[in-house]
Structure 1
Amino acid sequence: MQLTIAASSEAGGKTGNEDAVCWQLPDDPYLRTYKGAVLALADGVSSAEAGREASQTAVTSFVQDYLNTPDTWSVRQSAEQVLSTINLRLYRRSHAFANELKGHLCTFSALVLKSHTAYFFHVGDSRIWHCRGQQLSQLSTDHSTVLQDKRQFLARALGMSNQLQLDAGRQQLQPGDWFVLSTDGLHDFVSEQQLLEQLLADSSAGQKVQALTELALRQGSDDNISIVLARVDALPAESIDDYNERLTRLPFPPVLAPGMKVDGYRIERELYASERSHLYLVTDTDTAQSLILKCPSVNYSDDPNYIDRFIREEWIGSRIQSPYVVKVIRQSRPRSFLYYLMEYVQGISLEQWMQQHQPVKPGRAIKLVEQIAKGLQAFHDCEAIHQDLKPGNILVTADDQVKIVDFGSVFVAGVAEIFVPLEHEAALGTASYSDPLYLQGHNSGIQGDVYSLATISYELFTGQLPYGSKIEDCRTASDFDRLRYIPAREHNPRIPLWFDRALEKGVAFDLQQRYTTLQSLLRDLKQPNPDFLREEVKRNTRTSSLLFWQLLSGFWFVTLLLVIWLFLLQR
């Protein structure tokens, strides 16, 4: 595919610009063929104080995250899942600033040009146009409501609700087609006929953008003016629809042995094997780079839910960019089998590390906890919950650098329903470290990862688990109700009272008592929380008072017995 693209976003009749545009025509032939070109435009809602931030977040995140979706996903599946997560992110930001009425709202229009098809996605009153020959048509529908006094309000926008109502469609391509994305600062002041005349004019795409912007200003535009133009210059000789169909049905690779080659990757050795997956250390024969190749297990070759989750792992990993999370490597060559690549990290699991370093020095332990928390925060920033954080899923390098691995149990808000029972045949997570609510089929969100981090912190400082080994045998809510927190100071007397109370709060089964954020847990682990100290004083006071009344009652009881005995003697 060959395209000509031009774009502009100007403040126009306003002092500030709340519009945003972004587009990318990948240089990588593989990406250009199998993901296509992506164009996005957004208009921040002027009545929302954070409209500018919302529009910038929407267009940049969409372009970046769409191109990082698995090539085994359709365009629509990729775009809808990306936009669902962006919408939820903006919605949560709006509610985080509820007291300041800082709404993160924007209109949004996007176009993906792939193979012989244009795919469009839209919410709000920005517009998407298609021009072929001398015919101009509007592909999108304005989501606005006009009241009796002729005031117009948006009926839909990104960030307006936690459930995104998105328009989506497709248009077959022909060489010479024009596509236009515009905000209301342009199309409210430039007629369709004027837009068509500019598209048909003998000028470059950049000149057309400039001419349309100037025309809108001359005709009284008092709003931001943004426009994206794309012209289809040439299409691929063949459609890749058949190839994409085959790609989503890639065969599972066989068990691999050292020396074998898969798509230019030489197998060096097997690192891990389980009933569900295999990990191999491989070398890219073109670059000599060492990588990890993860393959699904042939045990699940006929399980569509397993295949979908495996493919989703690659997408989740590619979105999370953090020095404390293992990186998923973008595939550069067509795949013959279903697998994905990760960076190679030389280290051992935290489980092995603790066995080698117990007892762990407090300063060293808290640094590990901080890094794990930063890695988890990177998941949360992408509206994702790890759900299976445990020492076996954390690598520690020789210089105590942490890397969180494994995306198999990650829950992505916006892709699935939030805070509803998870639909899995088997419970996610590991009994010793995962929130018991997960194991009972419920999603506790960020608080679930808080539980796991607090459990790992407890083990780092004590070498034990906060509820002992019996937690592994629990299956029902009543089983967990019988468990009692074991004070960390019973295993390690040097642990301060306030630190123990923070751990106890972090692993509380009751969500009303547990920390709601990683930052609040970390804060109380690093410095004494006065509330814990006051609670202890009250608890000691109550204990002393109870002891006093117990002793007094005992004294009167003994006195009563003595009186009865003396009375009996006198008789």
Structure 2
Amino acid sequence: MSGRRPSATLPESVDVGKSASADLDVTVGQYTHRGPKDINQDFHGALVPSGHQLASRGVAVALADGISSSNVSQVASQAAVTGFLQDYYCTSDAWSVRKSAQRVILATNSWLYAQTRQSQFRFDHDRGYVCTLSVMVLKSATAHLFHVGDARIYRVQGHSLEQLTTDHRVWVSRHESYLGRALGVGQRLEIDYQTLPLEAGDVFVMATDGVHGFLSQQQITAAISAHGDDLDKAAQAIVSQALDQGSDDNLTVQVVRVNRVSDKTGASELYRQMNGLPFPPELDARMDFDGYRIIRKLHASNRSHVFLAVDRVTEGPVVLKTPAVELREDPVLLERFLMEEWIARRIDNPHVVRPCPPERRRNYLYIALEYIEGQTLEQWMRDHPKPELTVVRDIIGQLARGVRGFHRLEMLHQDLKPGNVMIDTMGTVRIVDFGAARVAGLMDLSLPEEGQGVPGAALHTAPEYLLGHEPTARSDQFSLALLTYQMLSGKLPYGVRVPRIRHPRDLNALTYHSLRMDRPDVPVWMDEAIRKALHPDPARRYEALSEFLQDLSRPSRNFLNRTRKPFMERDPVAFWQGGCALLLLALLASFLGW
């Protein structure tokens, strides 16, 4: 998903043209109509990429159908289609079509489910953000089909249609049924997948039940034959006939014709599809590598090596990130490396590093990212051991906006530490590493292996990771508050105790040391805000990151009331004057017999 909530006022499709490649040539025709209903809850789209992505990712065609019981289902349909067409082409070239598409669909499903859980429909999923989704990816000489719901994908066989998908509809009686499988219903999703060999001349039809429930196969194939190469008119004719036949639903049709298939399906390409891109050779300064000239190594860890390089085509600086040799024997860490590129392409946020556009085919496994001229937050902290409060607030505010870019996509960063943050020469803060990120719907890939420990740096992680509890957005909040504390004091709020946690009782040993012991200029209310965000119990932290940022900038009434000094400390003279006056009145009353 893109993180931007789709608008229901957008058109009901993502348009496409015609592929013009020596490898694969495809024509797509599409048409949709709301029928007798007020709103069109169908959404469809197709995308033919240019350049090497046509060969590496193929052509994608997607169709979603909302459910009539929901007033927001059209938002779900649009999110499912646009999200797939955007995110599928952001996945790593080393991933197979199946792996890329399924992970995009699972992430979309989790996003839709979260929207329902956060809305007034959380107890009635039939009224929430739910839809069907059918996807066809044509790559080289193979069609890859992904299907959830009751829309259909057909292949034209002469004057009839071969149904390639199964309707996920459960019939209670002859006249009553319900959708047995759909996006947005639950956190888990089962996706039908199959592959078919492609041949020149193949024609496929994708249709919602507002069409296939009212037309015969012969009527559909006749309309396609009657309009020759104009597949848009063929799709429109099919919809018009279904309306004439009494269709009472939204109607959408997509017709896909394969004009030419790739002839590059030899052993080398099949090997790459099965095994991914090869590991790069050992890189060094002044070395030419896959269209880049290596300048110098910037960083090295047990997960990756980072190099400054120059693109030999654009002559612009880039950062190349290659997997460490250790990853060859660790499929979990290698999977995270590949996930990092997909995440980088998904997020469009000024405070998150951007990947370089994939303008050419890669021959090795690596990630190309924009070069940020500046310094890490780690170095900045060394240069500014006692920073001004306003400067710290600005840095944390920018960093939080980057973190919220992850949260909006149902992702957790999980590794916020000074070395993973860059501050450029203009003062803009950027997150530059997210190899430990957790994507909702892909839990099995995001969780560390048993014995592997926390996904990020243990000193900067939230205690719940050490206890094996489910992390949430409040876990990133803890790490962000820890960076705030560290920037102001140069210390960690709990020292080195957090990595030693093994049992819930160990949380009692985490005693917060007030920032004011090292920074008396920190207001009491600001110290209390950081204390709350750093609470060992996630339930005791802020519900939203925005609340923490607000309390960092202005006094919270709750904190002011809690930390307000007694009257005797605030004005001792007035306190004793008042006390003496009361004592005098008491003596006069006793003397006069009052």
- Relative to the length of structure 2, the TM-score reads 0.86
- Relative to the length of structure 1, the TM-score reads 0.89
The one-letter amino acid of 1:87's match is N
Q: C-alpha displacement at 1:470, in angstroms?
A: 4.6
Q: Alignment partner of 2:443: what SS?
A: coil
Q: Alignment partner of 2:99: what SS?
A: helix
After TM superposition, list the pairs within 5 Å mapping 1:28-107 onto structure 2: 28=51, 30-98=52-120, 103-107=128-132
Q: Are 1:116 and 2:141 matched, yes or no?
A: yes
Q: Are 1:281 and 2:308 matched, yes or no?
A: yes
From the superposition, tell whether residues 245 and 98 of structure 1 become closer, same or farther in structure 2 (CA, over 3 Å).
farther
Distance 2:184 2:426 in 1: 42
The one-letter amino acid of 1:166's match is I
Q: Alignment partner of 1:6: what SS?
A: strand
Query: Could you say which residue in structure 1 is the equivalent of 2:522?
Result: 495
Q: C-alpha displacement at 1:471, in angstroms?
A: 4.3
Say what the alpha-carbon RMSD is for the aligned residues.
2.3
State which drifts further: 336-345 or 127-136: 127-136
Q: Alignment partner of 2:309: what SS?
A: strand
Query: Could you say which residue in structure 2 is the equivalent of 1:219?
Result: 245
The one-letter amino acid of 1:19's match is D
1:376 corresponds, among 379, 403, 426, to 403
CA deviations over 1:61-105 (Å, ceiling 9, x no partner): 001111111111111111111011100100010010136866101
State which drifts further: 310-319 or 104-113: 310-319
Query: Could you say which residue in structure 2 is the equivalent of 1:239?
Result: 265
Q: Are 1:197 and 2:222 matched, yes or no?
A: yes
Q: Are 1:165 and 2:190 matched, yes or no?
A: yes
Query: Could you say which residue in structure 2 is the equivalent of 1:268?
Result: 295
Q: Is the 8 A contact 1:263 1:334 kept in 2?
A: no
Query: Could you say which residue in structure 2 is the equivalent of 1:340?
Result: 367
Distance 2:554 2:566 in 1: 22
State which drifts further: 215-224 or 56-65: 215-224
Q: Are 1:15 and 2:38 matched, yes or no?
A: yes
Q: C-alpha displacement at 1:346, in angstroms?
A: 0.4
After TM superposition, list the pairs within 5 Å mapping 1:60-459 onto structure 2: 60-98=82-120, 103-148=128-173, 150-203=175-228, 204-239=230-265, 242-246=268-272, 248-417=275-444, 423=450, 425-459=452-486
Query: Could you say which residue in structure 2 is the equivalent of 1:5?
Result: 28
The one-letter amino acid of 1:319's match is R
Distance 1:26 1:175 in 2: 19
Q: Alignment partner of 1:32: what SS?
A: helix
Distance 2:215 2:529 in 1: 61
Q: C-alpha displacement at 1:417, in angstroms?
A: 4.9
Q: C-alpha displacement at 1:24, in angstroms?
A: 0.2
State which drifts further: 13-22 or 462-471: 462-471
Distance 2:331 2:430 in 1: 30
Q: Is the 8 A contact 1:324 1:371 kept in 2?
A: yes
State which drifts further: 252-261 or 315-324: 252-261
State which drifts further: 273-282 or 344-353: 273-282
From the superposition, tell whether residues 336 and 4 of structure 1 become closer, same or farther in structure 2 (CA, over 3 Å).
closer
CA deviations over 1:183-210 (Å, ceiling 9, x no partner): 1221122122211222333522112011
State which drifts further: 76-85 or 136-145: 136-145
Q: C-alpha displacement at 1:313, in angstroms?
A: 1.6
Distance 2:354 2:450 in 1: 28
State which drifts further: 128-137 or 485-494: 128-137
CA deviations over 1:312-348 (Å, ceiling 9, x no partner): 2211222111110011224333333321111000010
Distance 1:364 1:229 in 2: 57
Q: Is the 8 A contact 2:61 2:136 kept in 1?
A: yes
Q: Is the 8 A contact 1:422 1:441 kept in 2?
A: no
Distance 2:422 2:270 in 1: 35
Distance 2:512 2:417 in 1: 19
Q: Is the 8 A contact 1:421 1:442 kept in 2?
A: no
State which drifts further: 117-126 or 353-362: 353-362
Q: Is the 8 A contact 1:309 1:408 kept in 2?
A: yes
The one-letter amino acid of 1:200's match is S
Q: Alignment partner of 1:451: what SS?
A: helix
State which drifts further: 412-421 or 55-64: 412-421
Identity of paired residues, percent? Answer: 39
Query: Could you say which residue in structure 1 is the equivalent of 2:12?
Result: none
Query: Could you say which residue in structure 1 is the equivalent of 2:584?
Result: none
Q: C-alpha displacement at 1:282, in angstroms?
A: 0.8
Q: C-alpha displacement at 1:280, in angstroms?
A: 0.8
State which drifts further: 117-126 or 133-142: 133-142
The one-letter amino acid of 1:253's match is P
State which drifts further: 318-327 or 424-433: 424-433
Q: C-alpha displacement at 1:144, in angstroms?
A: 1.5
Distance 1:139 1:235 in 2: 20
1:531 corresponds, among 529, 534, 558, to 558
CA deviations over 1:355-400 (Å, ceiling 9, x no partner): 2123222222111111111111111122221111011100001221
Q: Is the 8 A contact 1:115 1:240 kept in 2?
A: no
Ranges in structure 2 where 5+ consecutive residues have no aligned partner? 1-23, 568-594
State which drifts further: 472-481 or 401-410: 472-481
The one-letter amino acid of 1:239's match is T
State which drifts further: 83-92 or 322-331: 322-331
Distance 2:444 2:276 in 1: 26
State which drifts further: 265-274 or 489-498: 489-498
Count of residues in correspondence between the two structures: 540
Q: C-alpha displacement at 1:469, in angstroms?
A: 4.5
CA deviations over 1:280-313 (Å, ceiling 9, x no partner): 1111111112100111122332333332222222
Distance 2:383 2:403 in 1: 24
The one-letter amino acid of 2:356's match is I
Q: Is the 8 A contact 1:271 1:280 kept in 2?
A: yes
Distance 2:449 2:555 in 1: 37
